[in-house]
Chains A and B, each alone.
Chain A
Amino acid sequence: MKYYRLWVLAFLLKFIGSAWDASYHFKYLFEEYSIPHIVNTMGFALGGILLFKEWRHSTYMDGFSRNLITIGYGLFLIGIPLDFTYHIAYGIDLTTWSPTHFIYYIATDIMIFGVWHGYNLYTWHTVPTWKSMHTWFMMFLLECLLFPNMQQENGAISYDQYIHGKSIASKEILELISDPASQIFGGIPVYVYPIYSVLMVGLLTVVTIRILRDFTIPFMGALLYICLRFIGKAIFAAVEYPTSYVPMTIILIPLAFLLFRRTNWLAGLIGSLAYFLSLFAIHKSGILITPPLELWELAPVLLIGILIPVINAIINPHLALRKNKQPA
């Protein structure tokens, strides 16, 4: 188990580094020895060592899981020169939504999925529970899938500070801003935020339940993610770094599936409805600063919330890995 605990540490370092980096670029443009990048690279390097160890002597995971992680590493390494070329062509982009940044997210998703797949097979003789490392891997995958939203979640607070003349961004960042309502939110239309959130959270929840046959792991993974985001927010606030809105209402999506104890359209509908309306209520009441929202976005959010479990039911059930709920 120590091997997989080290993977948890590696992904945790990547999580800390990327969250720090997202906050960092709302205050500073660029610094040569960017510490958030170094923390992220430490996680990447630790994972690389663990992967190399497995290539030398296959001990803790099957060949396919090892290959999946290697694909993730390969894709990430391809992303670096492509991102550099993108900057040559278009200049520095301060958004999580750039096409070359998505290569990093997809690559990290593949790495996490590979490790999680390996862990699931390594612990095949035990029933998956939320007390195991499944919850950690669920949380890491959720964090990586939702990472682009950090632009909107950090941007909401930064934009509010900017329009009230209380921005904490550095002079070099403020000089770049010509169209704050667009630039601070990465040039992405406002409707992307809730639609993307419900798509990623709903999809990950349903797929996790389908593979592990456990309704608690997605809920606890989302809860762990929210707790860590709040800890991060408290630390950033303490050191006067830009903070972000914590997407706590996403918890209602896995909670609906947990309460219904089945992945049907009704659980999808209730979860996505509760997610959006609670977020909209927070937005309208002004209790917290959230990314911008419009009420009409409820329609696509509900549609996606319903479609995910429906499509899951249509797809051949034999594709799911079966792991019966029996005592070990």
Chain B
Amino acid sequence: MIPLYLFHVTAVPHSESLLWTFLTCNAFVVISGIVFMYKLFTQKKVKIAGILFGMALAINYILIAIIGDPFDLLG
């Protein structure tokens, strides 16, 4: 792995098989989240951006609950 200080992790075995699926879903939540937060900061109407962000979060969270564990959702 990349030998950066911030990427310091344990050597616990782990699977990277679903990495790209999660990365794709993460990209969706990050982009919709940035739009939502920008609209909040500029105090514009956030209804549609909020719904899209909520959907992106729901997809990511359902995936985590299925692939991982519901307790992973506690952060």
Contact = CB atoms under 8 A, between A and B. Distances in A.
Interface of A: 29, 32-34, 37-38, 40-41, 63-64, 67-68, 70-71, 74-85, 87-95, 97-99, 104, 176, 178, 182-183, 186-189
Contacts of A98: 6, 8-9
Given A32-B69, A78-B30, A91-B14, A104 B75 contact: yes
A90 B9 contact: yes
A76 B37 CA distance: 12
22 contacts: A38-B74, A41-B74, A63-B43, A68-B41, A71-B37, A74-B53, A77-B57, A80-B72, A81-B25, A81-B60, A81-B64, A84-B22, A85-B23, A87-B14, A88-B15, A90-B7, A91-B11, A95-B8, A97-B5, A99-B7, A188-B8, A189-B5
B18 interface: yes
B72 A183 contact: no
B48 interface: no
Nearest to A91: B14
A34 B74 contact: yes
A248 B8 CA distance: 28
Contacts of B25: 81
Interface string B23-42: 10110011001001100110
Contact of B13 (A70, A83, A91, A183): A91
Contact of A40 (B11, B15, B74): B74
B74 A97 contact: no
A89 B9 CA distance: 10
A89 B16 contact: yes
Contacts of B69: 32
A64 B64 CA distance: 32
A227 B20 CA distance: 46
Closest 8 CB pairs of A and B: A187-B8, A81-B60, A37-B74, A93-B9, A91-B14, A67-B40, A85-B22, A90-B9
Which residue of B6, B19, B30 has the most chain A CB atoms within 10 A of its CB atom? B6
A91 B9 CA distance: 7
Interface in B40-75: 40-41, 43, 53, 57, 60-61, 63-64, 68-69, 71-75
Given A37-B71, A41-B74, A71-B41, A91 B19 contact: no
B26 A85 contact: yes
B22 A71 contact: no
A75 B37 contact: yes
A88 B6 contact: no
Contact of B6 (A63, A91, A99): A99
A84 B65 CA distance: 11
A144 to B, nearest CB: 14
Contacts of A187: 5-6, 8
A77 B73 CA distance: 9
A78 B8 CA distance: 22
A92 B14 contact: yes
A34 B71 contact: yes
A81 B59 CA distance: 10
Given A81-B29, A91-B14, A74 B36 contact: yes
B26 A97 contact: no
Contacts of A34: 71, 74
A41 B75 CA distance: 8
